[in-house]
Amino acid sequence: MKLFDTTLDRLQASLDVRLARQNVLGGNLANADTPGYQPRELDFEAAMKARTTALVSGKPSLPSAMPVEGHLSLNVSQPEPDEPSSFVKVADSPGGLDGNGVDLDRTMVELSRNALLYGASTRSAGKKLSILRYVASEGVG
């Protein structure tokens, strides 16, 4: 019998992807008045699947390349294939008169929904850790 199942790994993946989604939605909201801005969307299903697979398999992330003396550092890193930010795409939404495709109402609803689901994941992780703490203390305290 395994002591730790994949529940915490899946909850960790959920929290990572939900945080990335919150950042994407926040960026859309921040650019709601930017002419010509096309909103971004995170493919949650694909990001969750990739992140969960990477966490469950224990695949280490790739090491960063060492800087070479004399080269300029741009401090821009490419996301790893299992990182949620690699699943962000430009949304297919019609723009308004100024070409901006952000729908404020839809974005606010998605922000609220995502925050609610993030909170549910944190509570689930807390409950799982409480159970493990109870078992580790042999039912005392």
Q: Per residue in 95-119, pLDDT tens?
A: 778 888 999 999 999 999 999 999 9
Q: What is the pLDDT of residue 97?
A: 80
Mean pLDDT of the chain: 82
Provide the whole-model pTM: 0.76
**Nearest-angstrom CA–CA distance, 72 and 61:** 24
Mark the ranges of the chain whose per-residue pLDDT is less than 70: 1-4, 56, 58-82, 141
